[in-house]
Amino acid sequence: MFKVGDRVVVVKNLHEGPDNLTGKRGKVTKLGSGEWDFQIHIEGYGHLGFMKGELEFEETYDTMSAPHPDEDSLFSQEVDTRHDDAVSHPSHYTSHPSGVECIEITKHYNFTIGSAMKYLWRAGLKDENTEIQDLRKAIQFIEFEIERLGGQVE
């Protein structure tokens, strides 16, 4: 887990208050003390306490946030802004028989668990030729979470 000096990113913000700290970067300055597991310093906000599930290593966060090489070409494509359903409510996230949209579930989890769920949810729905690839990506995100929790990936 984290130790003093580690660079981290807030991935889930349970703090009440006017500022959403999700995405803010900081450095671990102190370990657990009652109400929180880690204290980090965030520029402009000072020293704040966080629980385990609220933080991710900065390097892991940056790696996980980087676009997958297969998806790079998506950024160079023109987007038809007249129909925002492909952006706001893509069919491969809204076609579950329950009627529940993928984001309604994944937004309650940290980045790695939410990403694994996203790939499981859409496996074979976005493109039937990538179902196995989606399942492998889900496994990779689960392995990232196991490592983050200090476990060994088999």
Q: What is the pLDDT along the chain (154 residues), one digit of tens a residue?
A: 788 999 998 888 776 555 678 888 999 998 886 778 888 998 888 888 888 788 888 888 877 776 655 555 545 555 444 344 666 666 666 666 677 777 788 888 999 999 999 888 888 777 778 889 989 999 999 999 999 898 888 7
C-alpha triplet 34, 38, 41: angle, nearest 5°: 125
CA–CA separation, 52 vs 75, rounded Å?
33
What pLDDT, on a 0 to 100 scale, did the predictor assign at position 135?
Answer: 92
The terminus-to-terminus CA distance of the chain in angstroms comes to 19
> Strand, coil or helix: what is 92?
helix
What pLDDT, on a 0 to 100 scale, did the predictor assign at position 100?
Answer: 76
CB contact at 8 A, 150 and 1: yes
CA–CA separation, 61 vs 24, rounded Å?
11
What pLDDT, on a 0 to 100 scale, did the predictor assign at position 72?
Answer: 52
What pLDDT, on a 0 to 100 scale, did the predictor assign at position 79?
Answer: 47
Phi, psi at residue 9, to the nearest 5°? -130, 140
What pLDDT, on a 0 to 100 scale, did the predictor assign at position 139?
Answer: 94
pTM here is: 0.44
Tell me the residue type at 84: D
What pLDDT, on a 0 to 100 scale, did the predictor assign at position 80?
Answer: 44
Give the residue among 98, 99, 86 at the shortest CA–CA distance from 126: 86
CB contact at 8 A, 141 and 130: no
